[in-house]
Amino acid sequence: MIEELSIRDLGVIAEATLPLGPGFTAVTGETGAGKTMVVTALGLLLGERADAARVRQGQSQTWVEGRWLIDPNGAVAERVRDAGGDLDGPELILGRSVSAEGRSRAVVGGRGAPASVLGDLGGDLVVVHGQSDQVRLRSASAQREALDRFAGPELAEILTDYQHAYRRWIANRDELDRLTREQDLRAREAEGLRASIAEIETIAPQRGEDAELSERAERLGNLEELRLAAAQSRELLSAEESVDDMPDAVALLDAARRQLERAAGHDPVLPPMVEALGNAEFLVADIAAQLSSYLAGLDADGARELEIVQERRAELTALGRKYAGGVDEAIEFLDTGSARLVELDGDSDRIDELTAETEADHLLVDELATTLTGLRERAAAALGAAVTGELGALAMPDASLVVEIDSREELGLTGRDVVRILLQPHAGAEPRALARGASGGELSRVMLAIEVVINATDPVPTFVFDEVDAGVGGAAAIEIGRRLARLAETAQVIVVTHLAQVAAFAGNHLSVVKDSDGAVTASSVRQLHGEERAAEMARLLSGLPDSASGLEHARELISLAHSR
């Protein structure tokens, strides 16, 4: 139940707070005062699309906030907590802002949340009926939804099971059709994969092998230069044959060390230098030994090895080019291709499996669809009789509502049934579809009658009606007021109306009052009592709030409503 609704800078409303509470609330006001903005504000809180054009002229944003009382242990509270929001006992705060640039921000239980969360919560909090909803009632889907709501939890449970089975059946059927249709194509793909995998496995590339071969080719291609450089360097460091006029580095270092050793005893600075020369001599001799080993290891048959390396490199290059990139890409293809081949080779088994599952699901879906049809047929007769009784009390005593169920051959997400709600204007007349058989005023009454009846089996906490009495007047309007009051006995009812006959039955009467300063129109909301309420009712009846006859008529209507 909505306890309070706060609006700021929405349309013509600068700032207003609507005290709502339980029972029947009527919202009235002059044309253009902003009554419909109340419904717009609720729509924003229920996740409807944000429209920057609704922001009050000259303002940066509009803000709407609603204070709800809900069951703290119920499903709505659980979804609020899942969204990160909190409750203050049973109180839930929902908020929505819309900037002049069109940006929207939603608040659920004190936390920011996507507007879709508001839409998810709204379905369990409020049912809004406006002129567009009357038009929607003429659609087959809306008529089926109304019947399903009336049928209650038994049908809802079967419909949930049906939809799960239906979605699984459709998914498996589509996959089966695809596998069967592409069987030849997939077989050719598998054959190609086998050939490619065999080729890669035959060549057996290794990660990093191409880089390693490139280094080997560089070395083998320059063997003679390497051998000459290493030999000359070794001779300079430590010659294998002594040449008197060209001593090597080891001999020079040894001679230098010996010269210093002779004089080292005379100066403490020299012994460390002697030791350093000894170390240098040892290091140079070691490098010379390494060069000897390097020379011994140079392959004498380097030309043949180079040919083998180049052949391998060419083989790997061709393979890498074929698989778009290099050796690593070919190896990656081997891994992914092998997995894909396993999948393709399993087609026959998967087709057999899907065939069995699809047949079983089709039988289940067909069985559940038949159950749905039976439940809807029983509910259709009961809904037609109950709504017909309501229409009699809504100044349509000769009208009857007929709910027909037609079955199609094909199955859909809601079964195979096509639901048609027909209106028979009087006995003996041919029932007609609502789109052709009901005027705007009659459609308003049919919609209200359906809601009154359905609420007995599928209660909703709050109903909002935006000019549900359009096209209605006189006795019919009084009966609409009675039925709204009756609906308010078990649910909160908020009605935007221009009829005093409807407003008279409200326990809470709010008036949207317009003030104008010549440039910007602002509206505020007042809660009416006593003579203020009578004056507003007189204005609705005659256009004159201080008309004596209008006031008398208004008081009479209020008295009539209280004596119902």
pLDDT at 521: 61
Which tokens hold the place of 283? Answer: 């290091």
Q: Say how far apart CA 118 and CA 102 lie, in whole Å.
A: 18
Q: What is the CA radius of gyration of the chain?
A: 45
CB atoms within 10 A of CB 260: 17
pLDDT at 461: 86
pLDDT at 29: 84
Average pLDDT score over the chain: 83
pLDDT at 299: 65
User: When comparing pLDDT for 115 and 166, which is higher?
Assistant: 166
Instruction: Say how many residues make up the chain.
Output: 564
pLDDT at 292: 84
Q: Say how far apart CA 16 and CA 522 lie, in whole Å.
A: 10
- DSSP helix/strand/coil, 56: coil
- Asked whether residue 352 carries a pLDDT value surpassing 70, the answer given is yes
Bridge partners of 93? 67
Give alpha helix (H) positions in 419-471. Answer: 434-437, 440-454
Instruction: At 558, give phi and psi (nearest 5°).
Output: -60, -40
User: What is the β-pairing status of strands 24-29 and 432-433?
Assistant: unpaired
Contact 161, 368 (CB under 8 A): yes
User: When comparing pLDDT for 80 and 299, which is higher?
Assistant: 80
Instruction: At 397, give phi and psi (nearest 5°).
Output: -65, -25
Residue 246, class by beta-carbon neighbours within 10 Å (0-12 exposed, 13-18 middle, 19+ buried)? exposed
Per the listing, tokens 């949930």 go with 160
Interval 373-394 mean pLDDT: 92
- Asked whether residue 519 carries a pLDDT value surpassing 50, the answer given is no
Interval 43-63 mean pLDDT: 87
Bridge partners of 528? 509
Q: What is the pLDDT of residues 274-291, one digit of tens each?
A: 888 889 889 988 888 888
- Asked whether residue 211 carries a pLDDT value surpassing 50, the answer given is yes
- Asked whether residue 365 carries a pLDDT value surpassing 90, the answer given is yes
Strands lying side by side in the sheet with 432-433:
400-412, 415-424, 432-433
pLDDT at 346: 62
Q: What is the pLDDT of residues 229-256, one digit of tens each?
A: 888 888 888 876 655 567 788 888 888 8
Contact 476, 441 (CB under 8 A): yes
The gap from C-alpha 545 to its chain's centroid, in whole angstroms, comes to: 51
- Asked whether residue 294 carries a pLDDT value surpassing 70, the answer given is yes
Q: What is the pLDDT of residues 21-52, one digit of tens each?
A: 899 999 988 877 677 788 888 888 888 888 88
Per the listing, tokens 């507007």 go with 115
Closest CA to 7 of 68, 51, 56, 47: 56
Which own/partner contact pairs does 552-561 have at CB distance under 8 Å and 24+ positions apart? 553/500, 554/500, 554/504, 557/478, 557/500, 557/501, 557/504, 558/504, 558/533, 558/534, 560/478, 560/504, 561/481, 561/485, 561/504, 561/505
User: What is the β-pairing status of strands 111-113 and 61-69?
Assistant: unpaired
- DSSP helix/strand/coil, 140: helix
Confidence of residue 458 (pLDDT cuts 50, 70, 90): confident
pLDDT at 158: 96
The gap from C-alpha 21 to its chain's centroid, in whole angstroms, comes to: 33
Q: What is the pLDDT of residues 473-504, one digit of tens each?
A: 777 788 888 888 888 888 899 998 888 989 99
Contact 470, 496 (CB under 8 A): no
Which tokens hold the place of 132? Answer: 């567009």
Contact 1, 22 (CB under 8 A): yes
Interval 361-376 mean pLDDT: 96
Q: Say how far apart CA 503 and CA 518 lie, in whole Å.
A: 30
Which tokens hold the place of 197? Answer: 């995998």
User: When comparing pLDDT for 424 and 241, which is higher?
Assistant: 424
- Positive or negative, the CA dihedral 445, 446, 447, 451 is positive
Give pTM, 2 decimals. Answer: 0.62
Q: What is the pLDDT of residues 306-329, one digit of tens each?
A: 777 777 877 777 777 776 667 777
Q: Say how far apart CA 49 and CA 52 lie, in whole Å.
A: 10
Give the percent of the chain with pLDDT over 90: 23
- Asked whether residue 198 carries a pLDDT value surpassing 80, the answer given is no
Domains of the chain: 1-130+467-525 (3.40.50.300), 189-344 (no CATH)
Interval 350-365 mean pLDDT: 90
Interval 115-142 mean pLDDT: 75
Per the listing, tokens 């009926």 go with 129
Which tokens hold the place of 226? Answer: 């390497």
- Asked whether residue 412 carries a pLDDT value surpassing 80, the answer given is yes
pLDDT at 518: 43
- Positive or negative, the CA dihedral 104, 106, 112, 113 is negative
